[in-house]
Chain A
Amino acid sequence: MISYQMSIFAENKPGRLAKITSILGREKINIRAITISTSDVFGVVNMIVDRPQEAFKAIEKEGMTVKLKEVIAVIIDDKPGGLDSLVQLLLREKVNVENAYGFVLESWKNAVFVIDVDQIERTQSILEKAGFRVLDAEALASAEPFHYMNY
């Protein structure tokens, strides 16, 4: 099961993020999670949204440089060691994680951890075999986040 992350190239200057959020707001698209990785003058805004295809089109229409990327959204227990078991597994299997971030679900019981990896299919089967629940785009769209956490 594949989820989509929307990545937007943005210069580090006032108003860039506001532009993105206002487009998404206008299109009534919900943001599940957002991380921004930057160099000194430019960066990449990564987002998990409820309707990625529509969000992508809306952002692209505004002339911004945007990409939809396949990622894996894993459910982990929101308790000490919950993340560790996932990370240890990925390490053992030598999966290269390019980016990762998570958000906690409203229930407080679980967290969704989004990982951007190089071998996406193989990683999925590894996770499923190990008993992790992986969300697809639809499930992710209906998940209600409580707050965001960054890694």
Chain B
Amino acid sequence: MYWNREAETMPMERVRKLQDTLLRDTVAQAAGSHFYGERFAALGLTPADIRSVDDLSKIPFTTKDDLREDWPYGFVAVPREELVRMHSSSGTTGRATVIFHTADDLDAWTDLLARSMYMAGMRKGDVFQNMMTYSLFTGGLGFHYGAERVGALVIPVGAGNSKRQIQLMSDFGTTAMHIIPSYALHLSSVFEEMGLDPRRDTALKLAFLGAEPHSEETRRRVEDYYGVKAFNSYGLSEMNGPGVSFECSCQCGMHIWEDNFIVEVIDPKTMEPLDEGEEGELVLTTLKRRGMPILRYRTKDLTRIIPGDCPCGRTHRRIERIKGRTDDMMIIKGVNIFPIQIEKRLMDIPGVGSNFQIILERKDYNDHMIVKVEVQREIFTGNLKQLEDLRRKIIEELKSDILITPKVELVEPNSLPKTEGKAVRVIDNRERQQ
């Protein structure tokens, strides 16, 4: 039942010792990068000052802004020609963060995914349909190679084209799928349209849900509809991507692989460490990445460590389903969108007033974005066609940036709500609409 019994059931004292060793290596490696080289020098810190995990707090946090500022190679700690892969976060404006991997880094990442998928019950002989976007996004390729390593037959179909997805499932006897949860729910309507029932007409038994936060209720719906066991996982491109943390068959929290990452939970306001069990921002340090080590990365994801042992026998601690983000990133149909992106676009369009609001809805298991935009009083000529043109322009501009088509509603100047003088940018109604 273990992919790597020794690694997965290693007693915690040994994990800690291993972390000390790996951390020393990682810090020494990181010191060779432009970013950490400068940062350590500014603090008068040398790698020798970090002897164990207890010394970790001497190192400042690394943020996404740091990654953006020392873009693209500032964190690279190996000669450029050692890098064999890049991935990028899915933001499309501003500066996307880029993560580089050496061949060994990819090998270690792939092993973590194989470990994770094996833990959830996938085996050699399974047919794995990867319904996730390939490309710069880490989810597609990460799972792809992990599944191959487990020995599954991989169907690298990628995202979209619902009928073909279902056709492939039935033609090749797909037993495991990797799918965005909202898409899994949406796909159920296509099954119905085709007069098919996944419980009867497919061989599915496993679903890996990823790429967007989802509720326990959504998981249960997916499980009920498809007749599968559905597993939650957690990852972020800065920490490779998927495979950081994964549910075991108990489905009682996600084991976070502490032989590959140092886990901290901090209060996002005071940045002080929190006790085990307290909810805060997850902070992670890579332990096995040579190409681009990252120390104490503030993930902005809110969760807590679940105290106590897991019945599965794995010693690596578990984190709870992610509660949300400390910042305001929106994930719509698996695409990361920041209100600031929308703001930037809108403010460039003549006729757009000062305020706007994003309303997220979930209808028929699909995410919808409504953008309410105040019209600039001065541009109003009394002509409806002019307003319609403005609306069309806004839709086109936003679509070209965020890649999804929002519904745009023009509203009267100063009609949108504000709290304490600040605009209420995002109203997310999706949770209660699932």
- Is the beta-carbon distance between A44 and B387 smaller than 8 angstroms? yes
CB-contact partner of A63 in B385, B410, B414, under 8 A? B414
Please, which residue of chain A has its CB at the minimum distance from the CB of B353? A65
A39 within 8 A of B: yes
**12 more A-B residue pairs beyond the given contacts A42-B410, A66-B380, with a C-beta to C-beta distance below 8 A:** A7-B380, A7-B381, A11-B411, A11-B412, A11-B415, A39-B387, A39-B388, A44-B382, A44-B387, A63-B413, A67-B380, A98-B383
10 A-B pairs with the lowest CB-CB distances in the bound complex, closest first: A7-B382, A67-B382, A41-B409, A37-B384, A44-B384, A69-B382, A42-B410, A65-B377, A65-B380, A9-B380
7 contacts between A and B (CB under 8 A): A5-B382, A11-B411, A11-B415, A38-B384, A42-B409, A46-B382, A65-B380
User: CA–CA, A9 to B377, complex, Å?
Assistant: 9
Cβ proximity bits A1-24 to B, threshold 8 Å, 1 near / 0 not:
000010101110000000000000
User: CA–CA, A43 to B386, complex, Å?
Assistant: 11
A34 within 8 A of B: no
Please, which residue of chain B has its CB at the minimum distance from the CB of A67? B382
Categorize the interface residue count of chain B.
10 to 19
Assuming the A-B contacts A9-B380, A11-B415, A65-B375, are A41 and B410 also in contact, with contact meaning beta carbons closer than 8 angstroms in the complex?
yes
CB-contact partner of A9 in B375, B388, B391, B409, under 8 A? B375
User: CA–CA, A121 to B95, complex, Å?
Assistant: 53
**Chain A residues in the interface with B (C-beta under 8 A):** 5, 7, 9-11, 37-39, 41-44, 46, 63-67, 69, 98-99
What are the residues of chain B within 8 A of A66 when measuring CB–CB?
380
Cβ proximity bits B361-389 to A, threshold 8 Å, 1 near / 0 not:
00000000000000101001111110110
User: CA–CA, A127 to B387, complex, Å?
Assistant: 30
User: CA–CA, A44 to B414, complex, Å?
Assistant: 17
User: CA–CA, A11 to B381, complex, Å?
Assistant: 16
- Provide the main secondary structure of the chain A interface: strand
What are the residues of chain A within 8 A of B388 when measuring CB–CB?
39
- Is the beta-carbon distance between A9 and B387 smaller than 8 angstroms? yes
Please, which residue of chain A has its CB at the minimum distance from the CB of B414? A63
CB-contact partner of A69 in B381, B412, B414, under 8 A? B381
User: CA–CA, A65 to B411, complex, Å?
Assistant: 10
Please, which residue of chain B has its CB at the minimum distance from the CB of A46? B382
Q: How far is the CB of A123 from chain B (nearest CB, A)?
A: 17
Please, which residue of chain A has its CB at the minimum distance from the CB of B385? A98
- Is the beta-carbon distance between A39 and B381 smaller than 8 angstroms? no
Assuming the A-B contacts A11-B415, A63-B414, are A39 and B391 also in contact, with contact meaning beta carbons closer than 8 angstroms in the complex?
yes
Cβ proximity bits B30-46 to A, threshold 8 Å, 1 near / 0 not:
00000000000000000
- Is the beta-carbon distance between B377 and A42 smaller than 8 angstroms? no
Please, which residue of chain A has its CB at the minimum distance from the CB of B376? A65
Please, which residue of chain B has its CB at the minimum distance from the CB of A63? B414
What are the residues of chain B within 8 A of A69 when measuring CB–CB?
381-382
